[in-house]
Chain A
């Protein structure tokens, strides 16, 4: 009679051994990103691009070689570095402001139910308005200066951050709050030791989304509201001589920097204190 369960356990054990390595890698450490496959796909895309341009035989899209030349030209003239710095400067300020305002405001809204009920409708009303729609007002208020795009980036970031911070606090499991109260924590200690860490993973997710949006918005804002930056580079290359090679060069640089920003911010999610909240727990 005891043979059956033993055999079963044995089987289960073997089975577990087979699937273990994969499981362990998934849940205990963020998998080391493998670069081979992504690079292959990127290379293939460039190949397709090149072939398409060669065979279509028209000027609708500059080929990769031309674009690379364009990038080199921009580097030579010192424009690329200058514009990247200008764009990053605006994003940094706008994004930092949206974090500084959005996180505390969201925590406050999440914690005080009446405040949430009072402010949530307004936030939900303002949130779907694309920051682009604010450009006329931004120019009216701030003129053609760095302040206008910074304001727009702030607007783009502050809503997702506020909403995610408020939701993060509201979603904290009651057991954690009860356990903390059980140990007699003061209000300040409760906030510092439980509310903040419990909400952190979802707040970080909001911040990550906000940074992505900020990078989208800076390019749009620079096309209209200022005369420097990567957005300006694109619109200027078109207006001042139909240099579509430079347009695409600018686009590629924007994509690469956006990727870099996301990789940078996603490192935050790897902290042990944050990782418990990620999907692969």
Chain B
């Protein structure tokens, strides 16, 4: 029906698209490997990944479990070194982590020894006390944790902890957010709500977001651009652009088609 709303393309077919928008992240020919169990051996994880995302865009990386999504995101963020290839962020080669680009971790990176307030304020530099407090409060309110300022992470639910981490990232006012399956450990309803909240926040803050998930529906719901990886050793199988307002009705027929394409690109057979 709405063909003009949802267009789907292999990036290689449409070079003009990357010219039209400012690229925030460019990955070229990225190879990555881990040291193997035996000395001298390596496990190749990424074998020539090419991708890019535009400034202010919400991009998702999807791929089967263990294909190298975390490895890719860690390399882009500067936590891991690539074997070959390069990562450019805002036109500059990445050599290490940067406070302008905050990572939200799959396994949860909230500091358990700090209160919610101190966690959220962690990335704030030298500031006047009142200014600092008001920034912290602003982001605590934004993620819906008002009233839990003095709680410790272990007193919160998994979803609330994830919100603390998001607030901590936003408070540092980064240009880019890297999110590694941030809602992976949450139950269905909490995920659902967190997605809606994230979109609401993104629409206000307009950060560039690079969001890893293995949940195709999550990517379809969130992303402007979906970067699909195949099984290990991984490369980008296809790139799907979704140009439709949110919230999206994933039951409509266009999404069925997209879902099918993504499944096929990942090397799986959609039932």
Contact with B along A254-275 (1 / 0, CB 8 A): 0000000000000000001111
Check A76 for interface membership: any CB of B closer than 8 A: no
7 contacts between A and B (CB under 8 A): A175-B105, A182-B98, A183-B102, A193-B122, A197-B114, A275-B154, A276-B112
Alpha-carbon separation in the docked complex, A200 to B152 (Å): 16
Given contacts A27-B154, A198-B113, 18 further A-B contacts (CB under 8 A): A173-B107, A178-B103, A178-B109, A179-B103, A179-B109, A179-B111, A182-B97, A182-B98, A182-B101, A183-B99, A183-B102, A183-B123, A184-B97, A184-B99, A194-B111, A197-B114, A273-B113, A277-B112
Identify which of residues 144-188 in chain A touch chain B, using a CB-to-CB cut-off of 8 Å.
Answer: 173, 175-176, 178-179, 181-184
Check B68 for interface membership: any CB of A closer than 8 A: no
Contact across chains for B154 and A182 when beta carbons are under 8 A apart: no
Alpha-carbon separation in the docked complex, A274 to B112 (Å): 9
Check B79 for interface membership: any CB of A closer than 8 A: yes
Alpha-carbon separation in the docked complex, A179 to B178 (Å): 12
Check A281 for interface membership: any CB of B closer than 8 A: yes
Check A28 for interface membership: any CB of B closer than 8 A: yes
Check B234 for interface membership: any CB of A closer than 8 A: no
Contact across chains for B98 and A176 when beta carbons are under 8 A apart: no
- Set of chain B residues within 8 Å of A182, measured between Cβ atoms: 77, 97-99, 101-103
Alpha-carbon separation in the docked complex, A255 to B203 (Å): 65
Chain A residues with CB under 8 Å of chain B are 27-28, 173, 175-176, 178-179, 181-184, 193-194, 197-198, 200, 272-277, 281
Contact across chains for B97 and A178 when beta carbons are under 8 A apart: yes
Alpha-carbon separation in the docked complex, A281 to B113 (Å): 12
Question: Which of A183, A184, A275 gathers most chain B CB within 10 Å?
Answer: A183
A280 closest partner in B (C-beta): B154
Contact across chains for B105 and A181 when beta carbons are under 8 A apart: no
Contact across chains for B111 and A176 when beta carbons are under 8 A apart: yes
Contact with A along B51-84 (1 / 0, CB 8 A): 0000000000000000000000000010100000
Check B220 for interface membership: any CB of A closer than 8 A: no
- Set of chain A residues within 8 Å of B105, measured between Cβ atoms: 175, 178-179
Check B155 for interface membership: any CB of A closer than 8 A: yes
Contact across chains for B77 and A276 when beta carbons are under 8 A apart: no
Alpha-carbon separation in the docked complex, A175 to B155 (Å): 20
Contact across chains for A175 and B99 when beta carbons are under 8 A apart: no
- Set of chain A residues within 8 Å of B155, measured between Cβ atoms: 28
- Cβ 8 A contact of A175, one of B98, B101, B107, B153: B107
- Cβ 8 A contact of B79, one of A178, A183, A184: A178
Alpha-carbon separation in the docked complex, A200 to B114 (Å): 13
- Set of chain A residues within 8 Å of B77, measured between Cβ atoms: 182
A12 → chain B closest CB, angstroms: 12
Alpha-carbon separation in the docked complex, A55 to B154 (Å): 55
A193 → chain B closest CB, angstroms: 8
Contact across chains for A183 and B122 when beta carbons are under 8 A apart: yes
A274 closest partner in B (C-beta): B113
Alpha-carbon separation in the docked complex, A183 to B121 (Å): 11
B89 → chain A closest CB, angstroms: 13
Check B30 for interface membership: any CB of A closer than 8 A: no
- Cβ 8 A contact of B97, one of A27, A181, A275, A281: A181
- Set of chain B residues within 8 Å of A176, measured between Cβ atoms: 109, 111
- Top 4 A-B pairs ranked by shortest CB distance? A276-B112, A179-B109, A184-B99, A183-B123
Check B143 for interface membership: any CB of A closer than 8 A: no
Check B172 for interface membership: any CB of A closer than 8 A: yes
- Set of chain B residues within 8 Å of A179, measured between Cβ atoms: 103, 105, 109, 111
Check B158 for interface membership: any CB of A closer than 8 A: no
- Set of chain A residues within 8 Å of B114, measured between Cβ atoms: 197
A107 → chain B closest CB, angstroms: 16
Alpha-carbon separation in the docked complex, A198 to B98 (Å): 22
- Cβ 8 A contact of B111, one of A27, A184, A197, A274: A197
Given A175-B109, A179-B111, the answer on whether A276 and B102 have CB atoms closer than 8 Å is no
Alpha-carbon separation in the docked complex, A27 to B153 (Å): 12
B99 closest partner in A (C-beta): A184
- Set of chain B residues within 8 Å of A275, measured between Cβ atoms: 154
Contact across chains for A276 and B113 when beta carbons are under 8 A apart: yes
Identify which of residues 184-240 in chain B touch chain A, using a CB-to-CB cut-off of 8 Å.
Answer: none
B169 → chain A closest CB, angstroms: 9
- Cβ 8 A contact of B152, one of A181, A197, A276: A276
